[in-house]
A and B are shown apart, each in its own frame.
Chain A
Amino acid sequence: MDILRCVPLLSIFLPMLSGFLLLLISDGKLALRATAVITAAVAGMSVALTAYLTSRAESFTFVMGSFPAPWGNELRAGPAEALFATVYSVVLLLLLKDSSSHSLKEISAHRQSLYLAVLNLLLGSMLALIYTNDLFSAYVFLEVSTIAACSIVMVKDKGESLAESMRYLLLYMIGSTFFLLGVVLLYSVTGHLLMEPLQQAIAQLVQTGQYSICLSVSLLLMTVGLAIKSAVFPFHTVLPGAHGSAVATSSAVLSGLLLESYVIVLMKILLRVYTLPVAQSLHILDALLILGLMAMVAGSLSAMKQRNIKRMLAYSSAAQIGYIYVGIGLGSQAGMVAASFHIIAHAFTKSMLFICAGELIAHSGGSSRFAQLRGAAWRAPLAGIGFTMGGISLVGVPLLACFVSKLYLAKSAFDGSWRTVFVLVALGISMILNAMYFIPAVSAIWSGRKEFEENRRPSAENLLRNAVHGITWQMVANIALGVGFAPVVEVLVLGIALL
């Protein structure tokens, strides 16, 4: 099946190409349809690749321009990467289905196709970050994703979103330059940029004990850069502004997909470049664990204080990123699997929450404050159900996606010696905090039923028409992940072992 080997390249190249071609189209609806077709094509190819690689239990590298190993530029695909690509394209496809209803209406007509072009570029750069086997390409795509992310924040053209996207840009610039500095340092002691030769060179350096300071400084710089970009604990303060002021689709993409793609790069660096024992001996994993634990609690505490539904969700993302970092920080294969599963579960759940919040806000006169959102769920029942379900999933109720990742996280914490207690306690605290900030939001949107019934009852026809919406599919995906998690975990175990 040689043709499947081109899938990684095609799934990066197609969105990039269509991103540029969309600049020629001025009709928003047509652009939306074109984007959906491209994303569906990428999703289909990624599903095929995942199935193929899982059944053969193998991974491969795709050499660009047939320059052999130490010099060329490579893409690498294993079951885990293919699964991530599948999830990213499917989530984006569902978001596009949703955004036709209200998110796009918030953007002025002549900008709609530009917005979709940038969304295409963002998809391309996120998939490139997932598939790349080369640290310098990773830097380039970090920057591409920075520009794309800031553009989809500022697309609303309100004063608030301009200022917030400037803050976002500043932080992201610092993050990617730190990453580049780390890559440069690593190159100057090893002379490699591809991941396999780097791994061998680092193993040799560790054995002989040379350049030990340089190795740890470089890992530290790359980790700090990626931590800034993925908005883990001390850097999470920029999230609520940017994600709170953007349109619903942008917030969903930024929170559910973009942040996690940087974590995937970090995972690849830890597993494939430094390998876990070396990273453990440099104490970087302990630092990640502590950051993650603090993010879990601090993010939830900040979310509790919010009276604005989108800002609350943004802080909740900061807390969920904490779970992923804890999984990585445990430093075991099982922890990595738990972190990867949470990336997938969070992608589906958080994108659904943001879309539902957007729908509820649209039905409450455009205000995102709890006070104005009272009774919104009766006005938009499907979005209300979706929001409630997303909240329940994040709290960690069985049969829903995020429960599974918490279960695996707790299970993998048991072989972490001193870490066990901290992880379990933080898991417990953050679950309670999650419930504490979702309950006010959920009770606000479902309150005031009587007032509503006097005005208008939701007709069955109306409900049915709404049900073909992407939200339904997001709910189905959430339950499917929560119930049928076994095959997904199997693919991830295989994929992480092959990394």
Chain B
Amino acid sequence: MALWAIISTHGYECAAIALCAMGLLNLTLHGNLIRKCLGANLFSTAVFLFFGARGYRTGGEAAILDPETLTAPEVAVNVVPTSLILTGIVVSVSITAFFLALTIRIYERYGTVDLDEVLLRVAQEQAELEQEETGGPS
């Protein structure tokens, strides 16, 4: 019952935490880089959702003056989380762009977007290189 009470009053936060877990699992457990990227996005967006939900007040409006009467709304939502989320989204977009650029480079080099396979290939290449070095003229 207590759990249900929490879920009904803090629905957004609970959803955010569930999304967080889903994103983190995708990010860590999947080998596919695109899946990882989606997971990372889900993870950070869930944190933003949590943050936004903490700044919400029931019945609150956007904290903007009425253009005609120049009065503030009686109940306004907390604008600090909203503006910080905006910054956070910018940061998260740039990280995603970098991630995807790196993925493209890896795909060009190895022809796969599976990180485990890429790491295996790297290990193979290194072993070959070592063999060359020790086998060659020293």
Q: Mark B108-124, 1 if CB is under 8 A from A, else 0.
A: 01100001001101100
Report B-chain residues with C-beta under 8 Å of the C-beta of A139: 88, 91
For the complex formed, measure the closest distance between the CB of B35 and the CB atoms of chain A, giving whole angstroms.
12
Chain B residues 38-95 with CB under 8 Å of chain A are: 40, 43-44, 47, 50-51, 54, 80-81, 84, 87-88, 91, 94-95
Min Cβ gap A178→B in Å is 9
The interface size of chain A toward B, counting residues with CB under 8 Å, comes to: 35
In the complex formed, the residue of A with least CB distance to B40 is A173
**Nearest opposing residue in chain B for A181, CB measure:** B47
Count of chain B residues with Cβ under 8 Å from any Cβ of A?
40
Instruction: Given A173-B40, A177-B44, check contact A147 B95 (CB 8 Å).
Output: yes
In the complex, whether B27 has a CB less than 8 A from a CB of chain A is yes
- Is A318 an interface residue, CB under 8 A from the partner? no
Is there an interface contact between B47 and A162, defined as CB atoms closer than 8 Å? no
- Given the known interface contacts A140-B87, A169-B99, the answer about A184 and B51 at a Cβ–Cβ threshold of 8 Å is yes
A144 to B94, CA, bound (A): 9
Query: For B91, what are the chain A residues with a Cβ–Cβ distance below 8 Å?
Result: 139-140, 143-144
Pick the contact of B133: A154, A177, A367 (CB < 8 A).
Answer: A367
Residue A463, interface by CB 8 Å: no
- Kindly state whether residue A446 has any CB partner on chain B within 8 Å: no
Pairs of residues from A and B, 6 with the lowest C-beta to C-beta distance, nearest first: A188-B54, A184-B51, A143-B91, A163-B122, A163-B118, A159-B109
Provide 23 A-B residue pairs closer than 8 Å at the C-beta atoms, listed in order of the A residue.
A136-B87, A139-B88, A157-B105, A159-B110, A159-B125, A160-B122, A163-B119, A163-B122, A166-B102, A166-B103, A169-B98, A173-B44, A173-B95, A173-B99, A177-B40, A177-B47, A180-B44, A180-B88, A181-B20, A187-B54, A188-B54, A369-B133, A372-B138
Task: List residues of chain B with CB under 8 Å of any chain A CB.
Answer: 20, 24, 27-28, 33, 36, 40, 43-44, 47, 50-51, 54, 80-81, 84, 87-88, 91, 94-95, 98-99, 102-103, 105-106, 109-110, 115, 118-119, 121-122, 125-126, 130, 133-134, 138
Excluding A140-B91, A162-B109, 10 further A-B contacts by CB distance (< 8 Å) are A136-B87, A154-B102, A162-B102, A166-B106, A170-B40, A173-B40, A174-B27, A184-B50, A184-B54, A371-B138
Interface on A for B, CB 8 Å cutoff?
A: 71, 136, 139-140, 143-144, 146-147, 150-151, 154, 157, 159-160, 162-167, 169-170, 173-174, 177, 180-181, 184, 187-188, 193, 367, 369, 371-372
